[in-house]
């Protein structure tokens, strides 16, 4: 389990196309401390498995399912990514419950500066809009954020807005986003469980 608190911005060093999958090597000197082969790591909010580790890099493979449902397939050499190691059982719980299971991809529609902060509106798939509420939690590229505004429930052109504080702008890849960029979305898992239980009790 993750919390959506990004601990390092990593960089894609190499990309290798394999049979139906892609192999990435990431430069991440802080993240690889104590990282071992087989460990999980969130890359832009996608839970991946480290297949090899050096003192400055780690590698992960992404299979077709991951490439189809996330923005990982758009990574190229030099792409910057948010990184987070799983939460330790004895650790402090910040952010919100993030599984690293991306629900879909959104598209940045606008970025507006508000002093040192930035307001970002993101178009989201209509079938995910029911899991979003104003002042609720959402993970965008693996970053735990609070929804500041949301489209009307039946509006087909669904969107969410979030405001980035200066710390988030400086310490995550969201600070470099611009219109038309794609971002990974993970909705609040508790909303999905409630919907499922409600459906089964009808």
Tens-digit pLDDT profile for residues 10-21: 999 999 998 889
Residue 7 φ then ψ, to 5°: -105, -15
Residue range 91-105: mean pLDDT, rounded: 81
The whole-angstrom separation of Cα 43 and Cα 6 is 10
44 vs 93 pLDDT, higher one: 44
Q: What's the mean pLDDT when you consider all of the chain?
A: 93
Domain 8-84 shares a fold with domain 104-200:
yes
> DSSP label at 177?
-
What CATH number labels 104-200?
Answer: 2.40.30.20
Whether 127 has a pLDDT exceeding 80, the answer reads: yes
HEC letters along 4-41: CCCCEEEEEEEEEECCCCEEEEEECCCCCCCCCCCCEE
Kindly state the percentage of the chain with pLDDT values over 70.
97
Per-domain residue ranges of the chain: 8-84, 104-200
pLDDT at 99: 82
pTM for this entry: 0.91
What CATH number labels 8-84?
Answer: 2.40.30.20
């Amino acid at each position: 389990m993750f919390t959506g608190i990004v601990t390092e911005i990593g960089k894609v060093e190499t990309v290798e196309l394999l049979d139906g999958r892609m192999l990435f090597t990431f430069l991440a000197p802080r993240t690889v401390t104590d990282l071992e082969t087989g460990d999980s790591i969130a890359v832009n909010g996608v839970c991946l498995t480290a297949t090899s580790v050096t003192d400055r890099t780690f590698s992960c493979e992404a299979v077709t399912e991951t490439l189809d449902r996330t923005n990982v397939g758009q990574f190229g050499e030099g792409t910057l990514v948010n990184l987070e190691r799983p939460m330790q059982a004895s650790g402090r719980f910040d952010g919100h419950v993030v599984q690293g299971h991306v629900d879909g991809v959104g598209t940045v529609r606008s970025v507006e500066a508000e002093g040192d902060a930035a307001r970002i509106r993101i178009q989201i798939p209509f079938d995910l809009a029911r899991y979003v509420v104003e002042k609720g939690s959402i993970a965008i590229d693996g970053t735990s954020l609070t929804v500041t505004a949301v489209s009307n429930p039946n509006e087909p052109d669904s969107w969410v807005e979030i405001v980035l504080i200066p710390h988030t702008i400086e310490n995550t890849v969201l600070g470099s986003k611009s219109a038309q960029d794609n971002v990974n979305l993970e909705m609040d898992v508790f909303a999905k469980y409630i919907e499922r239980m409600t459906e089964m009790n009808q």
